[in-house]
Amino acid sequence: MGRNPRYSDFDDDRIKKIIYLTGAILAIGVLIFTIAYMLYGNNSDSEIDTQDFAYLNTITNTTNQSTQNTLNTDAEQASTPIGKSVYEMQNNTVSENVVNNTTNTTTVAENKENTKTSSTTNVKEEPEEESVETTLIEQVNPDPTFIKPCEGNIIREFAKDKFVYSDTLKEWVSHYGIDIQADSTSVVKSSEAGTVKSIKNDPRYGLTVVISHANGFSTVYSNLATAEFVVEGEEVEEGQTIGTVGNTATFEILDESHLHFEMLKDGEYVDPEIYCR
């Protein structure tokens, strides 16, 4: 058979070129796909590795933080010198010494206060015992009862803490007794049983008799005309005559006739009206 006259060498060359070009295009396409696949795979792996690394880093940090917090908490609770500097240990020792000294000082102060309180309590208890003892003595030896030494109205009252006007002195003065109005030569009697302590002529209140009684009492009878019925040291009974009313008191000479009568308890002036029945 002979060659088809429709084909020529030019056609053969053209077909070959088309085949070569197609192969080249396919090869380039495969190459491009391969490169693209490799690049995409590397990027994906990098992203996954980055995410995994970040996740692992977060977990690690969280674990470390928890561990550190636990260690700190344990250290605070244990309060041991482990991990502390020498300076910190010295400060802690000084602080503890200060606290101990303060506690000791407070304890000493409390002991002193307790001792003081105990002493005060003991001191306060003693008067109570004395009070009980005094009460018992008073029950065994009650205060004596007194009578008015003479009949008559009281014309000047007891005035220890206030002043009364004196017609004789023309001024306001204290008055340590009571004045009982009575005519001259009226009988003056002992207000209670006792012992004649003194008979004297007082420059202010004239002829005066002093009688001592039980429980620290004494009575004073002044402005007397006479006291010849008793002598010093004599034991007298209640109601016994000791003298008569006169006008010998220079401090009360302008007053009407009266007996100046005083009463003392343990050396202190008291109101005779309180004790006279």
What pLDDT, in 10s, does the model give residues 34-89?
A: 888 887 765 555 444 555 555 545 545 554 565 455 445 544 544 444 344 444 44
Q: What is the mean pLDDT of residues 106-122?
A: 52
Residues 6+ apart with CB under 8 A from 166: 172, 173, 251, 252
Q: Reply yes or no on whether the pLDDT at 263 is more than 90.
A: yes
Q: pTM of this prediction?
A: 0.52
Dihedral sign for Cα 182, 184, 186, 192, please: positive
What pLDDT, in 10s, does the model give residues 211-242?
A: 999 999 999 999 999 999 999 999 999 999 99
Q: Tell me what pLDDT residue 35 has.
A: 84
Q: Reply yes or no on whether the pLDDT at 168 is more than 50.
A: yes
Q: Tell me what pLDDT residue 21 has.
A: 83
Q: Reply yes or no on whether the pLDDT at 100 is more than 80.
A: no
Q: Reply yes or no on whether the pLDDT at 179 is more than 80.
A: yes
DSSP tag of 23? H
Q: Tell me what pLDDT residue 136 has.
A: 54
Say if domain 154-275 classifies as CATH 2.70.70.10. yes
- 3-class DSSP assignment, residue 95: helix
Q: Tell me what pLDDT residue 96 has.
A: 56
Q: Which residue has the higher pLDDT, 209 or 43?
A: 209
From residue 226, give the alpha-carbon distance in Å to each of 180, 229, 230, 240: 17, 8, 10, 15
What pLDDT, in 10s, does the model give residues 137-160?
A: 555 678 899 999 999 999 999 999
